[in-house]
């Protein structure tokens, strides 16, 4: 039994759903950011698998994955900086207590 | 045959540690399970013959993002230990919505007529081609990403350093 492209699509769909549960249920803002990394990785598994199966000669999916990893790192750095700044001001990093923009 | 065993092994590693990460009551354990899950993704890249991406994944994600998360967890730890409840009350709706999303994507993938494109793939290392593409065809996005990373670096320092009074302390 060989591994086909559908196997990778199913794997990334399951990983995406698990990450979505994390984004929706984590109270801690760091937990939400870490669950977002799972979503990014689900997308990149798809990109690499499609690149290898559909266009093996021009590996655009690999290049996109490199850019996604770089942008995810930038996003993670900024998110954690915002969390630290918020922690100094409000003494909490729980997402359901961040109501500072509520009128 | 080897590919099948490796794929299922790494897929099980990814999914189990992702589940443990999402449901771990301790945020510190959660970050460590995230590292394990990302390591499994690096293994999937190896199965797909993208060795360069696997190295990047380990270096950037496990070496930088997870370690950075652990630092921020340690810096905000006092509050985390004060209230142990790490999940909100939306667990059941979240699980239902996520299960429906997974069902939708998987059933769409299974019903699609892929033709011959999924039958097999060319097993070759594309590291040299990746380097050539990054410095020829994709050189403009490559430079834009480096500017973006610089902007993120300066932005993160500016946000965390705060005003002059806070920085002087």
The predicted complex's ipTM stands at: 0.90
Assess A71–B contact: CB distance below 8 Å, yes or no: yes
Please determine, for residue B54, whether its predicted confidence score (pLDDT) is greater than 50: yes
Tokens of B59: 């270096």
In chain B, alpha helices (H): 2-23, 27-47, 51-56, 66-75, 77-82, 91-111, 127-135, 139-161, 164-168
Among A10-24, B49-63, B149-163, the minimum mean pLDDT is found in: B149-163
pLDDT of chain A, 103 residues: tens digit per residue? 678 888 999 999 999 999 999 999 988 889 999 999 999 999 999 999 988 888 877 888 889 999 999 999 999 999 999 888 888 887 777 877 777 776 6
* Closest residue in chain A to residue B161, using alpha carbons only: A85
> Count of residues for chain A?
103
Please determine, for residue B164, whether its predicted confidence score (pLDDT) is greater than 70: no
**Other C-beta atoms within 10 Å of A58: how many?**
13
Three-state DSSP at B163 gives coil
**Other C-beta atoms within 10 Å of A74: how many?**
19
Round to whole Å and give the CA distance between A4 and A7.
Answer: 6
Cβ distance of B30 and A31 shorter than 8 Å: yes
Asked if B27 contacts B75 with a C-beta cutoff of 8 angstroms, the reply is no
Assess A97–B contact: CB distance below 8 Å, yes or no: no
**Other C-beta atoms within 10 Å of B147: how many?**
9
What's the Cα-to-Cα distance from B112 to each of A5, A51, A57, B152, B167, rounded to whole Å? 12, 18, 24, 40, 57
Round to whole Å and give the CA distance between B40 and B43.
Answer: 5
| Residues 17-76, chain B, touching A (beta carbon < 8 A) | 18-19, 21-22, 27, 30-31, 34, 37-38, 41, 44-45, 47-50, 52-53, 56-57, 60-61, 64-65, 68-69, 72-73, 75-76
Tokens of B134: 């990054």
Mean local confidence (pLDDT), B150-162: 89
Give residue-wise pLDDT tens across range B69-87.
999 988 887 655 655 677 7
Please tell me which residue, A69 or B118, carries the higher pLDDT value: A69
Mean local confidence (pLDDT), B101-127: 80
State residue B91's pLDDT score.
86
Specify the residue for token string 């399970």: B33
Question: CA of A103, closest CA in chain B: separation in Å?
Answer: 23
């Amino acid at each position: 039994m060989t591994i086909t492209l559908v196997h990778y699509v199913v794997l990334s769909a399951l990983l995406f759903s698990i990450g979505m549960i994390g984004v929706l249920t984590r109270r801690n803002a760091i937990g939400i950011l870490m669950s977002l990394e799972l979503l990014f990785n689900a997308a990149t598994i798809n990109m690499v698998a499609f690149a290898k199966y559909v266009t093996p000669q021009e590996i655009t999916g690999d290049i996109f994955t490199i850019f996604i990893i770089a942008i995810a790192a930038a996003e993670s750095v900024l998110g954690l900086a915002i969390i630290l700044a918020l922690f100094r001001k409000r003494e909490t990093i729980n997402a359901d207590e961040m109501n500072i923009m509520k009128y | 045959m080897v590919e099948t065993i490796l794929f299922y092994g790494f897929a099980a590693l990814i999914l189990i540690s992702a589940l443990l990460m999402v449901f771990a009551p301790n945020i510190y354990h959660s970050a460590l399970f995230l590292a394990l899950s990302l390591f499994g993704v690096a293994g999937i890249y190896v199965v797909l013959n993208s060795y360069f991406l696997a190295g990047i994944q380990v270096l950037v994600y496990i070496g930088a993002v997870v370690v950075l998360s652990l630092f921020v967890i340690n810096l905000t730890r006092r509050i985390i230990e004060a209230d142990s409840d790490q999940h909100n009350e939306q667990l059941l709706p979240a699980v239902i919505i996520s299960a429906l999303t997974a069902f939708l994507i998987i059933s769409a993938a299974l019903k699609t007529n892929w033709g011959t494109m999924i039958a097999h793939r060319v097993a070759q290392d594309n590291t040299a081609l990746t380097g050539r593409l990054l410095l020829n065809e994709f050189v403009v996005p490559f430079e834009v990403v480096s500017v973006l990373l610089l902007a993120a670096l300066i932005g993160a320092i500016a946000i965390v350093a705060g005003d002059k009074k806070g920085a002087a302390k």
